[in-house]
Amino acid sequence: MDQSQVEEIRSFNRFYTKIIGLLDKHILNSNYSLPEVRVLFELNHSPGLTASDLITILDIDKGYLSRILKKFEKQQLIRRHVSASDRRATNLSLSELGQREFNKLDNASSSQIRNIFDKHTNEEVVTLVNKMKEIRSLITKKM
């Protein structure tokens, strides 16, 4: 890979992170950071995960995740349950409030994407989505 290719990939990354607002302190005009939203996302889609599971899935620092989980517990967004299969483990899930917060964020994220691409034709969006799938496939092929 030559330097111009590296620079083009980095340029695209900067472009897209700006488009979807990943550099904002709070994502989607919420009170949550990107890592916090990702934790809510994972717990919504896989209730019962442990903190260790989240560390593996998100490749997040253990101390940082611990602070996020404590914040969420204080805000009553999550519940902790002792695992039935391993009493040493604690399973995490969203509370009803956490589920409502996630749903608001999820709807805001979908609206954001619709707004970004609403001026594009359906054919352009299909092309974009197919290219995104191709990019994902190329990146993960050698991982």
CATH code: domain 32-141 is 1.10.10.10
Between CA 21 and CA 17 the distance in angstroms is 6
pTM of the shown model = 0.89
Contacts of 44 (CB under 8 A, 6+ apart): 94, 99, 102, 106
Identify whether the C-beta of residue 70 lies closer than 8 Å to the C-beta of residue 94. no
d(CA 48, CA 51): 10
Domains of the chain: which residue ranges?
32-141
73-120 confidence digits (pLDDT tens): 999 999 999 988 888 889 999 999 999 999 999 999 999 999 999 999
pLDDT, tens digit (0-9, with 9 covering 90-100), for 54-75: 999 999 999 999 999 999 999 9
* Two structure tokens written together for 38: 């990702």
Statement: residue 26 has pLDDT above 90: no
